[in-house]
């Protein structure tokens, strides 16, 4: 079965082991344990059969057989200790494998970048990295070692039975494949139900997260109850699919037990008939009867553990799909030209987001001068934010390229530069800033970990959020130590943007990219932001700012108007009122300042 996430994960998938290297040593240990377990099972059956036959057929007392009984107790104890040690090693290996997979999935998702992440539901990815990976505990701790035992123990037991009775060995060898056959049939049904279960829980988790995030808006428009009903419907769907998986699991256990019991009964009947006819000794017959169930037990347990690990196997399909998503081709050059004297040249660039047919940035060419403030203007959907995404090296153009052109004429394609080295030269304010939990100071220091409290305060003041001001102090009484909730909880939308802007200003980077820095700000704060942008220009830093409001446009040295699927139009700062009447008419504060 092939789902939207890619090829399905097999019951024993080498891709999963390849991405969890810590389990490789455990696989070796499991093989050794398999041979030891098979040896203990065979020895236990032979010794127990000898003791029983000696007591019932030859009249030996317990004292006569105390040596054999002691040896049998030692074998049983060793088998129990081996099982306990295997269980402990399995859980240790499982914990390491889950931790390794969690880091690998998160690291790979981050390397895929914001463009890929924007096409994934954050709730589903969160569920995958938490419950999904935790569900692999049964896979690594029980199912994986049992697979090894299911290969080694039955073969060894059949070989041991063959030394006592070839007919019984043949019966066991013929009936053993029936269990994997039924497992495959039932496993196919289980796989479909697990896929539906994971689709339901992924939809439920993603939808629930979206509803919680948009709850204020839903309450304002009176749609909260409708969404509650939707969540209840999805939750009920998840309940039904989960019960379907459990139903199949219980029925499969019954089927496998029935097949194993009938197979052992068939062997027992054949042994009884030949014991009565005298064609088989009691010792050989009892040894075979003790060994036969041990041949079927590992395969029955594989079926049992498969169903207990089925949820993890379903999650593994999603994880391997993420881990095997090709990473964008990036450069490895660490040397970067001096950005204070280097132009950023966009040469006939076209870019289309994955899953879209129309380009977001079509055949655009423009030049960003060093040490100047360049404003990007134009209607929504013209590609302003997309251009910043390309300049951040978060995405690779479909055609064309971004080039760094030094004052001496040498050029360096952006795709040749290592992304981490390039982004270290950039301070970035996204259109929708995100603040994690922590203090305001922590949020500002994200881009400059070694910034002092004075540096943080100056950056906040430049962004229009001076924590020493009495009016600001009334809403933020703890100043820099004010604790924020998730996504800047406790701050207004304007304050969140100002903290994010301060984060960009605090980072001493030669290139500053600002996506609508004055959105959600009042006129007074807007003037403070414009002054901060002017200070960046005076410091010789290159600033690229996406702007709709005239106050920012008038502060720019260059204005580039982007139009949908049309070449950009460069303007002088003195011409924007004449060339952009829509901005004049839609921005009341423009006329006030005029």
Residue 59 is predicted with a pLDDT of 74
Q: Kindly report the pTM of this predicted structure.
A: 0.65
- Cβ-contact 506, 447 below 8 angstroms: yes
Quick one: pLDDT at residue 545? 92
Q: Work out whether the CA dihedral 385, 387, 393, 399 comes out positive or negative.
A: positive
* Contact criterion met (CB below 8 Å) for 131 and 202: no
360 and 352 in contact (C-beta within 8 Å)?
yes
Q: How far apart are CA 351 and CA 363, in angstroms?
A: 8
Q: In the 8-state DSSP scheme, what is residue 358?
A: S
Burial 441-473 (b: 16+ CB within 10 A, else e): bbbbbbbbeebeeebbbbbbbbbbbbbeeeebe
Residue 220 neighbours by CB distance under 10 Å: 10
Strand order through the sheet with 361-368: 361-368, 343-351, 399-405, 411-413
Question: How far is it, in rounded angstroms, from Cα 458 to Cα 505?
Answer: 9
For the chain, 594 residues long, give each residue's pLDDT as a single digit of tens: 343 444 444 555 666 667 677 677 777 787 888 888 889 989 998 988 888 888 787 777 777 778 888 998 999 999 889 888 888 888 787 888 888 888 888 888 888 877 777 766 666 677 777 777 777 777 777 787 888 888 888 899 999 999 888 888 898 888 888 887 777 776 666 666 666 666 666 666 666 766 776 777 777 777 777 777 777 777 777 777 777 767 776 777 777 778 888 888 888 888 888 888 888 888 888 888 888 888 888 888 887 777 666 667 767 777 887 888 888 777 888 888 888 888 999 999 898 887 778 888 888 889 999 999 999 988 888 888 889 989 988 888 888 899 998 888 888 888 889 888 898 899 998 888 888 778 888 888 887 888 888 888 888 888 888 777 766 777 777 777 777 766 666 777 778 888 888 888 888 889 999 988 888 778 888 888 888 888 888 888 899 999 888 888 888 898 888 876 545 555 554 444 444 433 332 222 222 222
Q: How far apart are CA 512 and CA 427, in angstroms?
A: 5
Question: Phi, psi at residue 438, to the nearest 5°?
Answer: 140, -170
Tell the residue number behind the tokens 């880091």, with chain if given. Answer: 103
Q: What is the 3-state secondary structure (H, E, C) of 385-415?
A: HHHHHHHCCCCCCCEEEEEEECCCCCEEEHH
- State the pLDDT at residue 130: 78
Q: How many CB atoms lie within 10 A of CB 90?
A: 23
Long-range contacts of 425-428 (CB under 8 A, 24+ apart): 425/336, 425/339, 425/509, 425/510, 425/511, 426/391, 426/392, 426/509, 426/511, 426/512, 426/513, 427/503, 427/504, 427/505, 427/507, 427/509, 427/511, 427/512, 427/513, 428/388, 428/392, 428/504, 428/512, 428/513
pLDDT at 77: 92
Residue 63: burial class (beta carbons within 10 Å; 0-12, 13-18, 19+): exposed
From the list 192, 22, 180, the residue with the least C-alpha distance to 93 is 22
DSSP state of 333: B
- Based on the number of CB atoms within 10 Å of its own CB, is 320 exposed (0-12), middle (13-18) or buried (19 or more)? buried
Q: Residue 255's closest CA among 181, 361, 203?
A: 181
268: nearest Cα among 374, 175, 148? 175
Q: For residue 317, what are its two tokens? A: 């399909």
> Which residues, at least 6 apart from 566, have a Cβ–Cβ distance to it below 8 Å?
362
SS3 513: strand
Cα–Cα distance between 289 and 286 in angstroms, integer? 5
Tell me how far apart the alpha carbons of residues 216 and 499 are, in angstroms, rounded to a whole number.
22
Phi then psi for 299, rounded to 5 degrees?
-70, -40
Distance, in Å, from the CA atom of 53 to the CA atom of 286, rounded to the nearest integer, reads 8
Residue 204, Cβ density class (10 Å: 0-12 exposed, 13-18 middle, ≥19 buried): buried
């Amino acid at each position: 079965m092939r789902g939207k996430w890619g090829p399905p994960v097999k019951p024993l998938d080498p891709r999963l082991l390849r991405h969890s290297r810590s389990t490789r040593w455990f696989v070796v240990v499991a093989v050794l344990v398999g041979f030891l377990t098979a040896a203990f099972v065979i020895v236990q059956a032979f010794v127990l059969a000898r003791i029983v036959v000696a007591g019932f057929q030859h009249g030996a007392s317990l004292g006569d057989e105390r040596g054999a009984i002691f040896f049998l107790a030692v074998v049983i104890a060793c088998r129990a200790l081996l099982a306990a040690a295997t269980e402990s090693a399995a859980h240790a290996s499982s914990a390491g494998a889950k931790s390794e997979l969690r880091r690998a999935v998160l690291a790979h998702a981050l390397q895929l970048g914001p463009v890929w992440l924007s096409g994934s539901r954050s709730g589903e990815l969160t569920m995958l990295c938490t419950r999904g990976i935790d569900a692999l505990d049964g896979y690594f701790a029980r199912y994986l070692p049992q697979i090894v035992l299911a290969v080694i123990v039955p073969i060894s037991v059949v070989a041991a039975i063959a030394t006592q009775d070839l007919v019984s060995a043949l019966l066991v060898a013929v009936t053993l494949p029936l269990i994997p056959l039924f497992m495959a049939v039932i496993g196919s049904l289980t796989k479909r139900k697990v896929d539906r279960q994971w689709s339901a829980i992924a939809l439920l988790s993603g939808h629930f997260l979206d509803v919680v995030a948009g709850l204020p808006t839903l309450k304002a428009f009176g749609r909260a109850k409708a969404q509650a009903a939707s969540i209840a419907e999805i939750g009920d769907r998840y309940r039904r699919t989960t019960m379907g998986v459990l139903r199949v699991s219980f029925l499969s256990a019954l089927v496998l037990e029935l097949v194993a019991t009938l197979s052992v009964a068939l062997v027992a009947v054949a042994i009884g008939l030949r014991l009565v006819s005298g064609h088989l000794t009691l010792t050989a017959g009892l040894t075979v009867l003790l060994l036969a169930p041990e041949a079927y037990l590992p395969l029955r347990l594989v079926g049992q553990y498969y169903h207990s690990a089925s949820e993890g196997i379903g999650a593994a399909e999603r994880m391997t799909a993420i881990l095997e998503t090709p990473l964008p081709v990036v450069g490895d050059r660490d040397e970067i030209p001096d950005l204070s004297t280097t132009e950023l040249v966009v040469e006939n660039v076209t870019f289309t987001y994955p899953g879209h047919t129309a380009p977001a940035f079509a055949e655009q060419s423009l030049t960003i001068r060093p040490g100047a403030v360049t404003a990007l203007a134009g209607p929504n959907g013209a590609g302003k934010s997309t251009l910043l995404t390309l300049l951040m090296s978060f995405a690779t153009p479909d055609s064309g390229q971004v080039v760094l052109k030094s004052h001496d004429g040498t050029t360096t394609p952006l795709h040749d530069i290592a992304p981490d080295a390039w982004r270290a030269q950039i301070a970035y304010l996204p259109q929708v800033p995100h603040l994690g939990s922590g203090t305001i100071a922590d949020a500002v220091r994200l881009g400059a970990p070694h910034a002092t409290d004075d540096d943080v305060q100056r950056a906040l003041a430049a962004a229009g959020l001076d924590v020493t001001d009495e009016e600001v102090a009334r809403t933020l009484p703890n100043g820099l130590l004010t604790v924020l909730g998730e996504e800047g909880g406790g701050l207004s939308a304007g304050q969140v943007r100002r903290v994010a802007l301060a984060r960009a200003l605090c980072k001493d980077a030669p290139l500053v990219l600002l996506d609508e820095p004055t959105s959600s700000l009042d006129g007074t704060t807007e003037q403070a932001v414009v002054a901060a942008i002017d200070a960046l220009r005076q410091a010789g830093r290159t600033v690229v700012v996406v702007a709709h409001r005239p106050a920012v446009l008038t502060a720019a040295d260059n204005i580039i108007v982007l139009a949908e699927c049309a070449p950009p139009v460069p303007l002088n700062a003195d011409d924007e009122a004449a060339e952009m009447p829509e901005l004049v008419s839609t921005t009341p504060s423009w006329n006030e300042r005029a």
